Amino acid sequence: YFDEIYNEKNMDRIKIFKGDITKIEVDAIVNAANTSLLGGGGVDGAIHRAGGIKILEGCKKIIAEQGGCEVGEAVVTTAGQLPAKFVIHTVGPIWYGGNDDEKVKLKNCYTNSLLRAKEFNCKSIAFPNISTGIYCFPKDLAAKISVETIKNHLKEDTEIEVILVCYDDENYQILKKEMEN
Ligand code: AR6
């Protein structure tokens, strides 16, 4: 009985939203970056364009310190002109057909981003559907991994609220179904 209440309470802290992650007012938004941290297309391009030069400056500082960011890891910069306070840059795996530990790597992206958020005292975080664009990770599998990883994390982190931001309609429909399960 208590388990049920506990889980319902956890579910209240994951929401899905359809739209542009750069517009969302949360403590941290997550960027689906690449290992160079120097920007790119997709959501990465949108975040750098909307947030301005301060984000790239933050990335360059991290590059100078540690050379970039590994797949599955996450690093934090300012959010520049965005409504969020921080951008958490994580690097999703490129889908190579499932034989390159892609699932574990994607799970690590969510876990490490949530851990960075906690370190930076964030009470809310918004994720894009990491790896499901240019990196071709299957959307249904990515949705399962993201929801499961976040739900598990919410058992430990009893404060943070998570928004899964879907930009394309396909991901939105998939995530909506996944959340109903
Ligand atoms: N807000 C929210 N989600 C978005 C937005 C936006 N403004 N724009 C796109 N998406 P992708 P990846 C969704 O390709 O697959 C970059 O070049 C999009 O619909 O951005 O992890 C990086 O530099 C998709 O569901 O990231 C890397 O080189 C999701 O964001 C590479 O792409 C992820 O798509 C990373 O590829």
- Mean pLDDT, to the nearest integer, of 97-102? 96
135 lines ligand 1 (CB under 6 A): yes
Q: Which of 160, 170, 104 is nearest to 132 (CA)?
A: 170
- Side by side, which strands form the sheet with 28-33? 14-18, 161-166, 124-127, 28-33, 86-91, 74-78
Question: pLDDT tens digits, residue range 126-137?
Answer: 999 999 999 999
**Cα 38 to averaged position of ligand 1 atoms, centre (Å):** 14
Report the helix count and the strand count for the chain, using DSSP H and E: 6, 6
Q: Where are the beta strands (DSSP E) in the chain?
A: 14-18, 28-33, 74-78, 86-91, 124-127, 161-166
Split at pLDDT 50, 70, 90, the class of 1 is very low
Q: What residue's CA is closest to ligand 1, atom 18?
A: 133
Q: Which atom of ligand 1 is nearest to the CA of 39?
A: 23
ipTM here = 0.99
CA 126-107-92 angle, 5° bins = 70
- Rounded to two decimals, the pTM is 0.95
Residue closest by Cα to atom 28 of ligand 1: 34
